[in-house]
Amino acid sequence: MRSTIALLTLVAALPLSAQQNDPLAFLRRAPDGADRSFAAYRNQPYRPVRSGEVRSAGFLTELRSMPFGRVLGPVTPPVMHATESSETALPGSVIAVLPPPGAAYQRGDTVLLARVVPGPDGWGDIIVPTGLARIGDHTPRQTFATVIAMYGPVRMGQVALPLEPVNNPGMVQPVAITGPTGEIIAGRETRELEQVGGVMFINVGRAAGVRIGDFIAVHRRAGPRLNAADTADDVVAVAQVVRVGDKSSTIKLVRVIDPDIRAGAPVVRIATLPG
């Protein structure tokens, strides 16, 4: 959260002309005398990839079969069974989970808890993470897990997935790059206007060379409008890639200039992390 606030503060303090001519302007430090009330945030060390943002962002399944386990719900008491209710599990509470058919969870494993939402045509489902749980004891009928992080309400009927590792690139600074290009597929949630912290999906992924930590510029598609001025090819937002699939990527908005971001908006990678 502090990293995001710091990025926004730096952008606001830079002249508009400098931001337009420098693709990495949103990473530059503000002058010493600007926005003194935010000095504590500006002085935080830059972290190029934050594991919590990667794990909480979600992704498109790209029509792939996923190793879904099932959340059976909170357990009361822990030695008994899961309660069949819409009650939300809280951090530290115990839930019961069922592994995928033919698989088993091991004590100490961490699983991602999530909702499954129908996605855009041709892209499969949207996985919306709700939290993390650590596997504990087993019974012949179910496996117990303790909720250790929450990104949203954790309830019966959600799915459990193996937790993928998040590589730490170290304290590196992004370097400018151009391409590949693509388009916005959709937002993770349906919104009239996007805002900083919003999560969206783009149609370029690992196959195109996109990596976690890359920065993406979102453009306005140029063209004529009825009874209004034509639109120009301007940058309307800057985002960071927080998850990469074979053909798609998940981006998190770190700067929004025009919140009216729609499916089909052009995107281009503008920076990548060394290594």
Q: Around Cβ 254, how many Cβ atoms within 10 Å?
A: 21
Higher pLDDT, 25 or 255: 255
**The two structure tokens encoding residue 236:** 């309307």
The burial class, CB within 10 Å (0-12 / 13-18 / 19+), for 83 is: middle
| Interatomic CA distance for residues 256 and 24, integer angstroms | 15
Contacts of 220 (CB under 8 A, 6+ apart): 231, 232, 233, 234, 235, 236, 258, 265
Q: Does residue 37 register a pLDDT over 80?
A: no
Contacts of 143 (CB under 8 A, 6+ apart): 96, 97, 98, 99, 105, 135, 136, 137
Q: Do the beta carbons of residue 105 and residue 135 sit within 8 Å?
A: yes
| Interatomic CA distance for residues 108 and 29, integer angstroms | 42
Higher pLDDT, 102 or 227: 102
Q: What is the pLDDT of residue 128?
A: 96
Strand partners, 212: none
How many residues in total does the chain contain? 275
Q: What is the pLDDT of residue 160?
A: 95
Mean pLDDT computed over 58-68: 93
Please state the domain extents for the chain. Answer: 1-46, 60-162, 169-275
DSSP classification of residue 152: S
| Interatomic CA distance for residues 137 and 79, integer angstroms | 9
- Average pLDDT for the chain: 81
Q: Does residue 20 register a pLDDT over 70?
A: no
CATH architecture of the domain covering 60-162: Beta Barrel (2.40)
- Say yes or no: do domains 60-162 and 169-275 share a fold: yes
| Interatomic CA distance for residues 151 and 132, integer angstroms | 8
**The two structure tokens encoding residue 68:** 């879904």
Q: What is the pLDDT of residue 85?
A: 53
Q: Does residue 11 register a pLDDT over 90?
A: no
70-103 pLDDT tens trace: 998 888 665 555 555 556 767 788 999 999 988 8
Amino acid 169 reads P
3-state secondary structure of 2: helix
Q: Does residue 255 register a pLDDT over 80?
A: yes
CATH of domain 169-275: 2.40.10.340
Contacts of 139 (CB under 8 A, 6+ apart): none
Higher pLDDT, 243 or 228: 243
Alpha-carbon Rg of the chain, whole angstroms?
Answer: 21
| Interatomic CA distance for residues 65 and 58, integer angstroms | 16
Mean pLDDT computed over 54-61: 94
pLDDT bucket at 182, cuts 50 / 70 / 90: very high
